[in-house]
Structure 1
Amino acid sequence: MSHIDEIKNKLDANINAIADQLIDASRELWLHPEIGHEEFFAHKMLTEMLEADGFIIENNPADMATAFIATKDTGKQGPTIALISEYDALPKLGHACGHNLFSVSAVGSALALSKMKDQLNGKIVVIGTPAEEGVVPKAGGKAYLVEAGYFDEVDAAMICHAEGRTIIKRNLIASASMDVKFKGKPAHAAGSPQEGINALTAGVLTINNINALRQHFLPRTIVNAILTEGGTSQNTIPDCCVMQVSIRAEKRDVHQSVIAQVKRCIEAAAYVTGCSFEIGSDRKIYEDLNLNDELAHLFADAIKSLGIEYIENENANYSWDIGNVSYVCPTIAPYIKIGPDNLIGHTDEFREASNSVGGYEGMIVGAKAMARVAVDLMLDSKKMENVKKSFKPSSIV
């Protein structure tokens, strides 16, 4: 058995030794779900766990009160390995995405590595990232941290996500949302309709314009629009129409092109009806996942060594703000099995699986696998070099 393998086995033992503590922490998060930028309970509990082990905590990075950076320096030259923790829940549904599990998984991995720091090189960093779910203002905590430069010195970043199957490389797509408001002119719909400017018509035309383009969309391009306001009385010409539009595409260049097309659909509808309009968004663009093959290979080896069956590669039309990180530093974002194969996210069933024996087993698997990959990178310079060579950076648009 090699020296590195011995360290990995000790790491497994370290995680087993604190498994009950990790499970208790995850269950507490599950019992206290918090939506994005309101994760004060989660922030306090996770940072206290890390601070008690000697991690240096930086609070309020990128002006986000529930974000944190926790650092443990081995004192020896080597790579900076980031273990990413996300801990927000969904409105009404609670932890129906399993963030209670893998936020703790990242912390558990860091605590296990910390106990071995005398035998490691470089830095262990836990980055706490709020508001992953794109359902709150200023969603996309990782994007804000990327823009503030918190990943610029990171050599490799890792995060896990809950699923019904273990998937090493999941090809995720880019996502953006638009808030659109058309402003028209009210008038009596029967007595003087000619005096009105119908904002609702502009909203309907926008949807029709988008539908007219669908045959030209590339595969995995998805545009979904809803009307959230379209008038207050059936006998009055609506002078205000409010829309929300979700725009997804496989790659960032395609995504930017589709965003431009949707804007033209809006402009055309406004021109025809005579409405004025505003386009805005209080949520960050989530970039597609820029997969790092070498990191994924190391993670697959770690999963295999733990005796876990996995799927190597799969396309999925989900979006995740880890994509923004993946264009700044080498990144992996595997999915870990926590329940039955047909488990569907954002459901009551997924929430219950996030507080189950299978869920906690998956959490421990994720912690062990990330720790094993961290050891490879911190002790084998060739593997770290290969990961960097595999990285294909590109500036965030």
Structure 2
Amino acid sequence: MKLREKEQLMKEIIDEIEDKKQELIETSKYIWNNPEIGYEEFKAKDILISVLEKEGFEIQRDVGNVATAFTAVKKGKGEGPRIAIMSEYDALPEIGHACGHNLFSVASIGAALGIAKVIDKIDGSVVVIGTPAEEGIVPNSGGKAVLIEEGVFENIDAAMICHAEGRTIVERLLVASASIEVIFTGKAAHAGGPPHEWINALTAGLLTINNINAIRQQFLPRVIVNPIITEGGITVNTIPDKCVVKLSIRADRRNVLLNVMDKVENCIKAAAMVTGCNYKIDMEKRIYEDLIPNHELSLAFRNALNVLGVDYIEREEANYAWDAGNVSYVCPTIAPYIKIGSEKLVGHTEDFKKASNSEEGFEGMIIGAKAMALTTFDYLTSPDLRERAKEEFQRKISSNS
């Protein structure tokens, strides 16, 4: 494809998203006003599907045996590569859309609409994948991990998604994370009774935390283990026969995370052995893999931001976790952050919620839509970019194994 033709098609993509701007904003407002937690996002799913369906996308509902997941496909003139634009739309309990999912679920739809305008002139397909339950607050959270296991990402050659932030960041290296719950079971007794008849479950919980604290000096950089006791007794006159400890565990790479989880389990076993308690470990959600942004695709996204005249930060590390990381172990993936307000914005707060339904928030949403659409176009029309992205992906996955 000649440069002049590419430039014309890029203009058509941007113009199409601009033409759909008001509809996209109204869709985002609807989702913001109707917040739904993970695996209950039926209103969000339905309105996003309705926008895509009327533009001729082939819709498949309930993919991966998940009632609030979907795919929407628009095919080009040939077989070609298949690139996924992911859309996540769950909210937080009580506080609602304080993570901006109402914005960037819709940004993904906008990007797909932009590509749909010119898809009949290029080879390949764009696939919107609706991915529920990103927030780790419901059982089996990590909807992208679930859909990967169910085969929804099979035959996807590359993937992308954007997230809200107070700054625009092209490559953000995020950590792997896991959440576990430990239930210690002992033997209750009156606190004034014979001590040899007790088995104090709370002591096992406290020992677990102390054991973890004892090995913190051996943790690698960016390893975080944060335990809390959510249940440790009912009255001071009764020796607790149950103690519940919840732990958030983070590490910069998944192999490091698994190693730390083994060490934490040893701390739990030791506490149980010393006190005589039984214990049970439950995984509250899926393991979120560390996010490995594909640099070649990130360069394409950066070029798109340059075309749009948007300032950005090229690269940084952060200790947040995102199930987009699981996708980055399946295919070349990017997950940039887009500015929606003040640089001081902190996610999961009232200020972030307000920014997610603001003029600056909607501006960021449209920027994200345009940048993802231009990056998708670049990927579908550039065999050289596809090959570089694939080679980088294979190299990084091999080194992280």
Structure 1 length as normaliser, TM-score? 0.98
| 1:114 aligns with one of 110, 113, 116 | 116
In the TM superposition, what is the alpha-carbon distance from 1:394 to its structure 2 partner? 4.0
For residue 175 of structure 2, what is the aligned residue in structure 1? 173
1:230 aligns with 2:236: no
Give the 3-state SS of the residue equivalent to 2:115 in structure 1. helix
| 2:388 aligns with one of 380, 383, 386 | 386
1:271 aligns with 2:278: no
For residue 129 of structure 1, what is the aligned residue in structure 2? 131
Once the two structures are superposed, the pairs formed by residues 256-335 of structure 1 within 5 Å of their partners are 256-335=258-337
Once the two structures are superposed, the pairs formed by residues 192-203 of structure 1 within 5 Å of their partners are 192-203=194-205
Identity %: 55
Give the 3-state SS of the residue equivalent to 1:93 in structure 2. coil
Distance (whole Å) between structure 1 residues aligned to residue 379 and residue 261 of structure 2: 38
Distance (whole Å) between structure 2 residues aligned to residue 296 and residue 193 of structure 1: 63
Contact 1:102-1:162 within 8 A present in 2 as well: yes
- The one-letter amino acid of 1:359's match is G
Contact 2:62-2:70 within 8 A present in 1 as well: yes
In the TM superposition, what is the alpha-carbon distance from 1:192 to its structure 2 partner? 2.2
Contact 2:77-2:122 within 8 A present in 1 as well: no
Contact 2:87-2:106 within 8 A present in 1 as well: yes
- Deviation string 1:275-320 (CA, Å, 9 cap, x unpaired) is 0000011310000012211001100010111000000000100000
Distance (whole Å) between structure 1 residues aligned to residue 142 and residue 302 of structure 2: 27
For residue 99 of structure 1, what is the aligned residue in structure 2? 101
Give the 3-state SS of the residue equivalent to 1:283 in structure 2. coil
- The one-letter amino acid of 1:323's match is G
Distance (whole Å) between structure 1 residues aligned to residue 320 and residue 364 of structure 2: 21
Distance (whole Å) between structure 1 residues aligned to residue 77 and residue 121 of structure 2: 11
Give the 3-state SS of the residue equivalent to 1:62 in structure 2. helix
- The one-letter amino acid of 1:382's match is D
For residue 351 of structure 1, what is the aligned residue in structure 2? 353
In the TM superposition, what is the alpha-carbon distance from 1:145 to its structure 2 partner? 0.8
Contact 1:152-1:329 within 8 A present in 2 as well: no
Give the 3-state SS of the residue equivalent to 2:227 in structure 1. strand
Contact 2:77-2:121 within 8 A present in 1 as well: no
For residue 153 of structure 1, what is the aligned residue in structure 2? 155
Distance (whole Å) between structure 1 residues aligned to residue 190 and residue 97 of structure 2: 47
Give the 3-state SS of the residue equivalent to 2:189 in structure 1. coil
In the TM superposition, what is the alpha-carbon distance from 1:2 to its structure 2 partner? 2.4
Higher alpha-carbon deviation: 310-319 or 142-151: 142-151
In the TM superposition, what is the alpha-carbon distance from 1:75 to its structure 2 partner? 3.6
- The one-letter amino acid of 1:183's match is T
Give unmatched runs, 5+ long, in structure 2: none
1:81 aligns with 2:87: no
Higher alpha-carbon deviation: 149-158 or 37-46: 149-158
Distance (whole Å) between structure 2 residues aligned to residue 307 and residue 73 of structure 1: 30
Contact 1:90-1:133 within 8 A present in 2 as well: yes
Contact 2:12-2:117 within 8 A present in 1 as well: no
In the TM superposition, what is the alpha-carbon distance from 1:191 to its structure 2 partner? 2.0
Give the 3-state SS of the residue equivalent to 2:386 in structure 1. helix
For residue 188 of structure 2, what is the aligned residue in structure 1? 186
Distance (whole Å) between structure 2 residues aligned to residue 362 and residue 58 of structure 1: 29
- Deviation string 1:85-119 (CA, Å, 9 cap, x unpaired) is 00000111110000000000000111111121211
Distance (whole Å) between structure 2 residues aligned to residue 19 and residue 252 of structure 1: 39
For residue 19 of structure 2, what is the aligned residue in structure 1? 17
Give unmatched runs, 5+ long, in structure 1: none
Distance (whole Å) between structure 2 residues aligned to residue 20 and residue 153 of structure 1: 33
| 1:246 aligns with one of 241, 248, 251 | 248
In the TM superposition, what is the alpha-carbon distance from 1:157 to its structure 2 partner? 0.3
For residue 66 of structure 2, what is the aligned residue in structure 1? 64
Give the 3-state SS of the residue equivalent to 1:302 in structure 2. helix
Distance (whole Å) between structure 2 residues aligned to residue 164 and residue 332 of structure 1: 18
Give the 3-state SS of the residue equivalent to 2:368 in structure 1. helix
Distance (whole Å) between structure 2 residues aligned to residue 2 and residue 388 of structure 1: 27
Contact 1:30-1:94 within 8 A present in 2 as well: yes
Contact 2:134-2:323 within 8 A present in 1 as well: yes
Contact 1:168-1:300 within 8 A present in 2 as well: yes
